[in-house]
Amino acid sequence: MKNRMSKLIALLAVSAMVMGTLAGCGSTEEAAPVEETVVEETAPAEAAPEEAAPAEEVAPAEETADLSGSISMAGSTSMEKLATALSEVFMAKYPGVTVTAEFTGSSAGIESLAAGSVDIGNSSRALKDSEKEAGAVENIVAIDGIAVVVDPANAVAGLTKDQLIGIYKGEIKNWSEVGGTDAPIVVVGREAGSGTRGAFEELLEVEDACAYANELDSTGAVMAKVASTPGAIGYVSLDVVDETVIAVALDEVAPTEENIKAGSYFLSRPFVMATKGEVAEQSEAVQGLFEFLASDEGKELIKSVGLITVE
Amino acid sequence: MTNNKANTFSIIGSLKTKSKVEKSAQVVFTTCAFFAVLAVFSITIYMILNGAPALSKVGIGDILFGTVWKPTASEPSYGILYVILTSIIGTFLSILVGVPIGLFTAIFLAEVAPRKLAGIVKPAVELLAGIPSVIYGLLGLLLLNPVMYKWELLIFKNDPDHQFTGGANLISAVIVLAIMILPTVINISESAIKAVPKHLKEASLALGGSHIQTIFKVMIPAAKSGIVTAIVLGVGRAIGEAMAISLVSGSSVNVPLPFNSVRFLTTAIVSEMGYASDLHREVLFTIGLVLFLFIMIINLLLTKVLKKGENENDK
């Protein structure tokens, strides 16, 4: 009898161990896919904080009006961040509205608008006359500004557009050539695919012609490198500039929000959400979208993706 | 638990229960082993499935032997030759710097150092292994790069063609990598040296060889296979490192010369994965595949070396 009892206990012990091992296997099995998703999520790391911000606003925004319908957008890839954030927040605020956004490029977006296949054509440049003739109306919703920054000890106060192009193409290699001290220029930029790099090169018309000495993969890294390296020059989104670097004047115009809104600072571009005919002629949903962009909540959203609002 | 009670009784009461216990244990162990194998296979298949398409779309030659990396240009170009060369040369140089230092430290620890001093150095080396790679990178960025920039200013003062990098260059990356492989090299070579049979050392000393002669002519040759293992593992660590060198190497695609800003296979993936799309993204997976193959080759080499070492010891 006693023997039987101890046998039973032993069997229980063995089965507990087996269960334990099985549980161990189970958890390793689960661990693998979890890690995978983490990797995928961290990949667009930089987009995360900006997207997180509008997501927070979603919660209190549920006292909704009764808009319904669908809005389709197409156009600029540079406006992807803004358009995605906007559609997410807008759809959360008005659950009856479906917003779809495609990113095909500014010109293609306006073409689709003219053809009537979308409600809004996104363009990261001012509309051309030909496009306006085709019926597109330019609604500037935000402005994208880029600051050129140098290390705090740099004596150069301003650069002209040609000097900036020369520096980034690698033709100007010493600060003495642009009125500074005799020190080499360390050209810092962003990695291929970055929106800031795309905008910078597009505005200066130096696409794929830049000679970077450092290609860093985040705005923070560019700021840190420029701040700590004598003779460094870099570009960042205007809203992150702080006292660790100097933002230089371009063509004698200081990089301030006022100058950008006035249009005198050349490293900036309008983000246009063009409509076919005036906004007032559009569907209620589209009108609601523009009203939302003009509201305080919409302005917050625009700022949260690093852009400047239009007043 | 069962061990404690083994004295009083046996769980294998009958032939029937025995075969049950044996069988269930076998199933459990097989299942667990299967998961490890499954992970390796799924990673391999995933890498090949994702990395191979770009090879045919762009052309194997254009990717592996092209020198222009412009993935976002209107006419994109995906040449990663410089990136591959950088990884090979950077790893080779860091081994060249790190292995002698590591090996001599190992000899010091195993043979030369007084017991007390070894008691300080050994934990320090182990601590070095525990420091996260991003810390190495930060220190490199803050301490090494400014020094390198001073050298750069001095050396290329009158060279109008040189592109100044602010100290973010191949040398910085090599130094950081060399420090990072030290713990691996030291620990493994030390145990290899300690494992040399005592009679070899005693015989050498008895024949009139000095301590240093004994170390270099007897102990190191005898510990050869262990030291080779250490080097191969060091190569593996160096070639797979990304975080530390992405901070110190400048990350521009250039010919791997000492004072050029360079991009490694690992940093190429890390720095561009965030915004890459379509073919660009696929090519990044191809870079991952190339890296994967490199590491596979190193591992195969390692197993071969280890097997050879075992055979030698058997004789």
pLDDT score of B88:
93
pLDDT score of A4:
57
The size of chain B, in residues, is 315
d(CA B100, CA B98): 6
Q: Which of residues 7-26 of A touch B (CB under 8 A)?
A: 7, 9-11, 13-14, 17-18, 21-22, 24-25
pLDDT score of B98:
95
3-state secondary structure of B295: helix
Query: Is A154's Cβ below 8 Å from some Cβ in B?
Result: no
Q: Are A76 and A271 in contact (CB under 8 A)?
A: yes
Of A76 and B263, the structure prediction assigns the larger pLDDT to B263
What residues of B are in contact with residue A211 (Cβ under 8 Å)? 163
Angle between helices A284-294 and A80-93 (to 10 degrees): 110
Structurally, what CATH architecture does the domain formed by A67-143+271-309 represent? Answer: 3-Layer(aba) Sandwich (3.40)
* Angle, CA of B116, B118 and B119, to the nearest 5°: 60
* Least-confidence region, from A55-64, A299-308, B93-102, B229-238: A55-64
3-state secondary structure of A97: strand
On the question of pLDDT at A103 being above 90, the answer is no
d(CA B310, CA B274): 45
The residue type of A294 is A
Measured in angstroms, the CA of B39 and the nearest CA of chain A are apart by: 8
Q: Are B204 and B214 in contact (CB under 8 A)?
A: yes
10-residue stretch averages of pLDDT, chain B, 315 residues long:
51 70 91 92 92 89 89 86 94 94 94 91 90 90 90 84 87 94 94 93 93 92 90 90 89 89 91 79 92 90 76 55
d(CA B126, CA B147): 27
Strand partners, B69: B78
pLDDT score of A282:
87
3-state secondary structure of A166: helix
Q: Write out pLDDT tens, residues A212-222.
A: 888 888 888 88
Hey, are the CB atoms on A193 and B71 less than 8 Å from each other? yes
d(CA A213, CA A220): 17
Q: Which of B165, B247, B257, B281 is most worth mutating to test chain A (most A CB atoms within 10 A of its CB)? A: B165
Query: Is A211's Cβ below 8 Å from some Cβ in B?
Result: yes
For the residues A32-57, what does the mean pLDDT come to? 41
pLDDT score of A7:
58
3-state secondary structure of B279: helix
Sign of the four-CA dihedral B190, B193, B196, B198: negative
Asked, colleague to colleague, whether A67-143+271-309 and A144-268 share their fold, the answer is yes
Q: Which of B75, B141, B163, B257 is most worth mutating to test chain A (most A CB atoms within 10 A of its CB)? A: B163
d(CA B80, CA B86): 10
Domain ranges of chain A: 67-143+271-309, 144-268
d(CA A101, CA A86): 10
Mark out the alpha helices in chain B (DSSP H runs). 2-5, 15-58, 60-65, 81-107, 115-130, 133-139, 145-155, 170-194, 198-206, 211-214, 220-222, 224-240, 243-248, 265-272, 278-314
On the question of pLDDT at A35 being above 50, the answer is no
d(CA B230, CA B236): 10
Strand partners, A270: A143
Q: Which of B275, B281, B284 is most worth mutating to test chain A (most A CB atoms within 10 A of its CB)? A: B275
For the residues A6-17, what does the mean pLDDT come to? 55
d(CA A234, CA A254): 16
Hey, are the CB atoms on A10 and B145 less than 8 Å from each other? no
pLDDT score of A29:
38
With tokens 């083994």, the residue in question is B6
Hey, are the CB atoms on A207 and B73 less than 8 Å from each other? yes
**A174 φ, ψ to 5°?**
-130, 140
User: How high does pLDDT run on average in chain A?
Assistant: 79
d(CA B217, CA B199): 14
pLDDT score of A21:
46
Query: Is A182's Cβ below 8 Å from some Cβ in B?
Result: no
Hey, are the CB atoms on A193 and B280 less than 8 Å from each other? yes
On the question of pLDDT at A248 being above 80, the answer is yes
Label the pairing between strands A232-237 and A214-216.
Answer: unpaired
The residue type of B278 is D
Q: Which of B245, B251, B282, B283 is most worth mutating to test chain A (most A CB atoms within 10 A of its CB)? A: B251
3-state secondary structure of A75: strand
Sign of the four-CA dihedral B233, B239, B243, B247: positive
State what percent of residues in chain A have pLDDT above 70: 79
d(CA B28, CA B36): 13
From the centroid of its chain, how far is CA A248? 23
Hey, are the CB atoms on A7 and B13 less than 8 Å from each other? yes
**A68 φ, ψ to 5°?**
-150, 165
Query: Is B160's Cβ below 8 Å from some Cβ in A?
Result: yes
For residue A90, what is the DSSP state? Answer: H
For the residues A8-26, what does the mean pLDDT come to? 50
On the question of pLDDT at A231 being above 60, the answer is yes
Q: Are B219 and B200 in contact (CB under 8 A)?
A: yes
Q: Write out pLDDT tens, residues A148-203.
A: 999 988 888 789 999 999 999 988 888 988 888 888 899 999 888 777 888 899 88
* Angle, CA of A291, A293 and A299, to the nearest 5°: 135
pLDDT score of A43:
40
Q: Are A160 and A207 in contact (CB under 8 A)?
A: no
Structurally, what CATH architecture does the domain formed by A144-268 represent? Answer: 3-Layer(aba) Sandwich (3.40)
On the question of pLDDT at A310 being above 60, the answer is yes
pLDDT score of A157:
77
d(CA A73, CA A119): 6
Q: Write out pLDDT tens, residues A92-102.
A: 988 889 999 88
Burial A161-186 (b: 16+ CB within 10 A, else e): eebbbbbbebebbbbeebebeebbbb
Hey, are the CB atoms on A193 and B272 less than 8 Å from each other? yes
Strand partners, A136: A276
Query: Is A173's Cβ below 8 Å from some Cβ in B?
Result: yes
pLDDT score of B99:
94
Hey, are the CB atoms on B28 and A215 less than 8 Å from each other? no
From the centroid of its chain, how far is CA B109? 22
Of A240 and A50, the structure prediction assigns the larger pLDDT to A240
Q: Are B184 and B94 in contact (CB under 8 A)?
A: no
Burial B46-56 (b: 16+ CB within 10 A, else e): ebeebbeebbe
